[in-house]
Chains A and B, each alone.
Chain A
Amino acid sequence: MVPLSWYLILAAALFAVGIFGVLARRNAIAILMGIELMLNAVNLNLLAFWRYLWSDNLTGVVFVIMVLAVAAAEVAVGLALIISIYRRRSTVVAEEIDLLKW
C-alpha cells in the first residue's frame, strides 16, 4: 500500500502550489483557483489521516464534507463579488482594482 507520508507530501505540495497561485497570479479568478487548491490540500490531508490512522470513527470524513460544503458557499460569494466588480470596471485583474490604498 502507498505509505501515508506520500499523501501528506502530495497535500503539502498542492498547498504550496495553491499559495504560489494566490501570491503570483494577477487575475482574481486565478487567485480563487489557488484558494481552491489550498482547500483541496486540506481535504487530502484529512482523508489520508483518517484512512490510515483514525478510520474507527467518522470524524475525518465529516470534516471533509463540511470543508467541501463551506468551500462551495465561499466560492459562490467570491464569484458574485468578482462579477459585481467586473460589471462596474470591466476588469478582474487584481492590480487594476486599486481605488483603495494607503
Chain B
Amino acid sequence: MTFTEFAPERLLAILPESLLFLLAVAMLTLDLVWKPSRRRILGWLAASGVTLILLATLAFGQPPADEPLVLGGMVRWDWLAFAFTILILFTAAVTCLISVNVEGVGNRGDYYGLLLISTMGMVLMASSADLIMLFLAIETTSIPLYVLAGFLKADDKSTESGLKYFLFGAVTTAVMLYGFSLIYGFTGETNLYLIADAMKAAGLSLLLVGGIAVLVLVGFSFKIAAVPFHFWAPDVYEGAPTPVTAYVSTASKVAGFAVLVRVMMLAFPSIDAFWAAILAAMAAATMTLGNVLAIAQSNIKRLLAYSSIAHAGYALIGLVALSVFGVASMMFYLLAYVVTNLAAFAVVILFARAAGSDEIKDYAGLSRRSPWLALVLLIAFLSLAGMPPFAGFVAKVFVFKAAVDSGLIWLAFVGVLNSIIGLYYYLIVLKVVYLYRSEDDHLPVQVPRPYAVALAACTLLILVVGIVSAPWLDWSIGAARSLF
C-alpha cells in the first residue's frame, strides 16, 4: 500500500464532504439574512441541495479502479465508502424533507446547518482510513447530533435526551480513544492499512491485541446502539425531535457500521475469530433484548427505538459471517432498514402533528382517518417485521444465508426466532391502526407536500428493493469486495 502523490482530480474523493460543508454554511447564512417568514423553504432548499450532492457524487465521485488512499492516506476512495456515502446522503435528504413542518426545528437554519455538518462527518466516517481522521469524523458526527437531540430548549424531554446522549457518547468515545492510543503506541502507525502488518512485525501478543479490540469496540457499539451499549437509545429516541430521532436511528447507525466493518476487517485480521465471537454474542443479545423490550412499549417512538436496536443485531449477523457475501448482506440489510425506518418515522411525525401524541393507543382509527398513511405504516411495519414482498424480508434472508454459509447456524436460528417476536409487536400496532376506532375518525391527518415526497420515495424503495433485489445485492457485493 503506497500513498499516491497529490493530484487535483483526487480531490473528487471528498466531493460530497466539501459540498455538504458549503451547503451547511449557506444554511447558516440564509438563516441570518432571511426574514422568519421566508425561512420556511430552508428545508426544501437543504433537501434539494443534498439531492444534488447525491447526484453529483453518483456522477463524479465514483472511485477509480485502483481504489487509492488519498490525501496523505487519510481517506480511502473505494466502492465501500461510495456505497455508504450514497446511503447516508439519501437519509440526509429525506430527513431534511420530514423536518420542514416540525414545530421549532423546521424553519431554523442552524438546525439544517448542524444536520448537514453531521452528515459530512458520517460521510467521512465511511471513507476514513486513518485513526486520527476516524476520530475527527466520529466527533464531527456526534457533537452536532448531541446539540440536535437537545435542540428544543423549551422541552424538558428534549434537553434531557441531549444530555444523556452527550454523556454516553463522550464516555464511550474516550474509551475508544484509549484503544486508539494503544494501537498507535504499540505499532507507531495510525493508518488502518498499515496497522495489521505493524502489529505482526512488532510481535504483539494476541491477548493484548484482543484487549485493544475490545476497547475500540466499545465506541463503535455505542454508535450502532448494540447491547450492552444501547442504554441511551430509547431515551434519546423518545426525547429528541422526531426527525432527529429518524436521523440518529438510520444515518448514524449506518455510519457506525461503516466504521465497524472497515476497522475490524483491516486492523484486527489476526484475531478475527475472537472479535467475531464477541460480535456474534452481541448480535444475539442485541436482537433478543431489543425485541423483547419492544413488546412492552406504549410509546411509538420508544417502540421504534427498541426495534432499531434489534435491527442492529440482525445487521451484525452479516458482519460476523466474515465473508464477502456476509458484508454485502449487512449492507443490503442496512439499505432495507434505512428506507423502511424513515417511512415509519415520517408517519409518526405526521400523526404527532395532527394528534399531538406519540402513544400507540392514540393511533386507533388511523386507517379511517387517512387510509394512505395507514397503508404506508402497514408496508413499513411489515417490512421491518420481515414479511415478503418487502425489502426487510429479502434483507433478512440474505443475512441468515450468510450466517448459515459460515457455519453459524445457531445465530441464524436466534435471528429467525427473533423475527417472530418482532412480528408480534409490529402487528399489535397495526391492529390498533386498522381494527380500533376513535372519535376523530372523520378528521384526516394532513400530509404536507415534503412529507408526501419523502413517503413516496421511501415506500417505492421498500417495494423496489424487496421485489427487484438482485441489482442492489450486486451493488453491495461490489462494495464489500473492497475489503477483501
Q: Which residue numbers of A lie inside 8 Å of B, CB to CB?
A: 8, 15, 18-19, 22, 28, 31-32, 35, 38-39, 41-42, 45-46, 48-49, 53-54, 59-60, 62-63, 66-67, 70, 73-74, 77-78, 80-82, 84-85, 87-89, 94, 97, 99-102
- B132, B150, B171: which contacts A66 (Cβ < 8 A)? B132
The CA of A102 and the CA of B234, in the complex, are separated in Å by 8
Q: Residues of B contacting A84 with CB < 8 Å?
A: 150, 153, 159, 162
Establish whether residues A74 and B171, one from each chain, have CB atoms under 8 Å apart when the complex forms: no
- A32, A49, A81, A99: which contacts B184 (Cβ < 8 A)? A49
The CA of A22 and the CA of B168, in the complex, are separated in Å by 10
Give the shortest distance, in Å, between B103 (CB) and chain A (any CB): 18
- B164, B177, B184, B238: which contacts A60 (Cβ < 8 A)? B184
Task: With CB as the reference atom, state the residue of chain A lying closest to B152.
Answer: A84
Q: Residues of B contacting A81 with CB < 8 Å?
A: 146-147, 150, 159, 162-163, 166
Provided the pairs A45-B182, A63-B132 are in contact, do residues A35 and B171 lie with their beta carbons within 8 angstroms?
A: yes
The CA of A82 and the CA of B146, in the complex, are separated in Å by 12
Task: With CB as the reference atom, state the residue of chain A lying closest to B135.
Answer: A66
Q: Which residue numbers of B lie inside 8 Å of A, CB to CB?
A: 131-132, 135-136, 139, 143, 146-147, 150, 153-154, 156-157, 159-164, 166-167, 170-171, 174-175, 177-178, 180-182, 184-186, 188, 190, 234-235, 238-239
If A32-B167, A59-B184 are given as contacts, then 4 extra A-B residue pairs at C-beta distance below 8 Å, sorted by A number, are A54-B188, A97-B160, A99-B239, A102-B234
Provided the pairs A35-B174, A100-B238 are in contact, do residues A77 and B147 lie with their beta carbons within 8 angstroms?
A: yes
Give the shortest distance, in Å, between A18 (CB) and chain B (any CB): 7
Give the shortest distance, in Å, between B447 (CB) and chain A (any CB): 29
The CA of A95 and the CA of B131, in the complex, are separated in Å by 35
Task: With CB as the reference atom, state the residue of chain B lying closest to A70.
Answer: B139
- A18, A88, A94: which contacts B159 (Cβ < 8 A)? A88
Give the shortest distance, in Å, between B153 (CB) and chain A (any CB): 5
Give the shortest distance, in Å, between B248 (CB) and chain A (any CB): 14
Establish whether residues B177 and A67, one from each chain, have CB atoms under 8 Å apart when the complex forms: yes
Give the shortest distance, in Å, between A8 (CB) and chain B (any CB): 8
The CA of A89 and the CA of B156, in the complex, are separated in Å by 8
Task: With CB as the reference atom, state the residue of chain B lying closest to A64.
Answer: B181
Q: Residues of B contacting A89 with CB < 8 Å?
A: 156
The CA of A42 and the CA of B178, in the complex, are separated in Å by 5
